Homo-oligomer: A and B are copies of this chain.
Amino acid sequence: MSERGATVYEILRHVRPLVLNSARVVEASLRADGVSVGMRAVLEMLAEQGPMTVPDIADRLDLARQGIQRHVNDLAGLGWVESRINPAHRRSVLIATTPAGAELFARIREGELSRLDRMAAECTSEEITTALRVLAALSRDVRAEVRT
């Protein structure tokens, strides 16, 4: 068995607790605004990529459109996102952050970034950049494997 595959295996062993623990860390600030981690992911997508339809968000987050629709409906109920007429499609509306929603996400992101600055202090900027490249490649290939 190749050493490479075994190292990738070790990486994947770390990501599950990492996702759980990072969700736990941001959970408190999110609850104060009535936002769940799923809703936060939708808000992030809209804030960074601009308005898009529900199926578009679902595709980019690798989730079913039905689940995203729930998050969008919840976010709309809270006033963080709103629908806009889609010039290219009468039935499928565009979802966009409201000014308040954009502000909320900026606040959330700022708080998270300030914590992340203190993480993995022993690693250099170059190592972290390398890790990002590896993670992105791995994520891309595993994603492709799903669609096999």
Contacts and interface: CB of A to CB of B under 8 A. Distances in A.
Contact of A17 (B12, B61, B112, B129): B61
A132 interface: yes
B146 A113 contact: no
A88 interface: no
Contacts of A4: 117, 125, 128
A41 to B, nearest CB: 7
A78 interface: no
A115 interface: yes
Nearest to A135: B14
Contacts of A63: 20
Contacts of A2: 117
Contacts of A9: 109, 112-113, 116
A18 interface: yes
Interface of A: 1-22, 24-25, 41, 44, 61-63, 109, 112-123, 125, 127-139, 141-143, 145-146
